[in-house]
Amino acid sequence: MAVKRNALITGSTSGIGLGIARSLAALGHNIMLNGFADREEIEHLKADIATTYNVKVAYSNADVSKAEAIAGAIDQAKAELGDIDILVNNAGIQFVSPIEDFPIEKWNAIIAIDLAAAFHAIRLVLPGMKARGFGRIINVASAHALIASPFKSAYVSAKHGIAGLTKTVALEAAEHGVTVNAICPGYVLTPLVQKQIPDQAHARGISEEAVVRDVLLAAQPTKRFITVEEVAALAAFLADQQTASITGAIIPIDGGWTAH
């Protein structure tokens, strides 16, 4: 039977983050959810996961664009669940625009949430993981950690930064039983991607149907969206006790996109 661990997953009230939270709970791990949703929805999610998987479930509404809020979420997780053994940096936002029109505030927000938040969370949980001789840090990056697309200067920069951060911390933690890896999904049909479709259509001057066919799925040889369940299964695998030799890996799960 797997050892019960405590996991903090940022951006986990919907989409990929929620899928990962469920996959880790299914292994018996306690869960700290994080994200924005109304109180009734949060209570429903907590009760559903706790009852379905017989685990403890906590929730923090920390705004991960702020370092002090991340620290507060980690303190809360320790108080309600115990030391954090598994950290999944999943929170992310997106904005699509030619760089000459890219709003500065959007650049700052994407860098803060998609890159700096992972740095702050890692620096706070890593000392405890090293002291206990076990830790799993999983950064949800993107195929855009490996390649670029137009009109996504901030997002691509942040995800390339996540790849570098992953490799660097993996080297620093390698002798302490802590692994650090990045998952790089192609297009997953989450609320984040669904919101991109009209933005991409506007930026490119094409229909939303053409965005899905000719932009989003054009580069994925499988010609289908990646599922949340597929990404969650990979995260659960990387969180396992038996994956101690997988660290510093930037792992595509993209339907063959980055094989081009």
Catalytically active residues are: 155
Q: Is 250 helix (H, G, I), strand (E, B) or coil?
A: strand
Please tell me what DSSP assigns to residue 116: I
Q: Where are the alpha helices (DSSP H) in 135-238?
A: 153-173, 191-204, 208-210, 228-238
Nearest CA among 117, 236, 122 for reference residue 173: 122
Give CA angle at 146 (142, 98), nearest 5°. Answer: 80
Instruction: Give the Cα separation of 37 and 13 in Å (integer).
Output: 7
Pairing of strands 178-185, 57-60: unpaired
For 161, phi then psi, to 5°, come to -65, -40
* 38 φ, ψ (degrees, to nearest 5): -75, 160
What is the DSSP secondary-structure string of 54-88? T--EEEE---TTSHHHHHHHHHHHHHHT-S--EEE
